[in-house]
Amino acid sequence: MSSHTPGTRVQRMPRAQRRAQLLDAALGVFVAKGYHSAAMEDIADSAGVSKPVLYQHFPGKLELYLALLDDQCDHLETLVLEALNSSEDHEERVYATVRAFFNFVADEGGSFRLIYESDLTNDPQVRHRLDALEAQLGEAIAQRIVQDTPLPTELAEMLGLAMSGAAQVMARTWLAHGAHFSKEVAAQAAGHLAWRGIGTFPVNRMGTSDPATDLVAGE
């Protein structure tokens, strides 16, 4: 049962501040229990508010989950975009992009679980958001590859998706099994692996008539 009693006045907050507080509480509950086992009452208790206050901001559990998922997707996309624009040095950008995934996964709130370990992926609205995020991250990386190399767009898009997917898998693997070494060591090793791949492609240059042929020929 909710710890909030009818005679207790909930401290008033600006609406945006209250919403942020509720989302933070919801994140902890959803990460700990998963979507299906979490209850709105659990979230209200965690936030220290009554359920009516919670429902003033979110009409239901799914709407609350989707709002939280939107925030976390935006956060990850921002981290990756910042990394992709963090340096003019190609190698450093690759390392920074990989580190962005490690930083996101290492966040103490466990927000990455909503994106990569959600128990609600069969819901069409959740699936749409996750697919859109995957496409956006892959496209952002692909745009940089196109700028930096003579690779055709189709190949760059494939590599962008592959790099995004590999980076998040390596970051999650470190979190699950990497207790003997730090995030920095793991991210550096993962970045090295990524750079050893992408760094072998030719740097963009003027006058290339057939980028795909150059790639196959190793020029």
Residue-level pLDDT, tens digit, the chain, 219 residues: 444 554 444 567 788 899 999 999 999 999 999 999 999 999 999 999 999 999 999 999 999 999 999 999 999 999 999 999 999 898 999 999 999 999 999 987 888 999 999 899 889 999 999 999 999 999 999 999 999 889 999 999 999 999 999 999 999 999 998 778 899 999 999 999 999 888 777 776 543 434 444 444 444
Residues 6+ apart with CB under 8 A from 142: 153, 156, 157, 159, 160, 161
What pLDDT does residue 204 have? 66
What pLDDT does residue 217 have? 40
Residues 6+ apart with CB under 8 A from 213: none
What pLDDT does residue 216 have? 42
How many angstroms separate the CA atoms of 176 and 128, rounded?
27
pTM for this structure?
A: 0.83
178 exposure class (CB count in 10 Å sphere: 0-12, 13-18, 19+): middle
Q: Strand, coil or helix: what is 6? A: coil
What pLDDT does residue 15 have? 86
What pLDDT does residue 219 have? 43
How many angstroms separate the CA atoms of 102 and 99, rounded?
5
Helix axes 124-148, 61-84, angle to 10 degrees: 10
What pLDDT does residue 19 have? 93
What pLDDT does residue 132 have? 97
Question: Going from the N-terminus, what domains does the chain have, and what CATH number goes with each?
Answer: 15-59 (1.10.10.60), 69-203 (1.10.357.10)
What pLDDT does residue 206 have? 43
What pLDDT does residue 10 have? 53
Which among 214, 213, 175, 194 has a CA at the least distance from the CA of 92?
Answer: 194
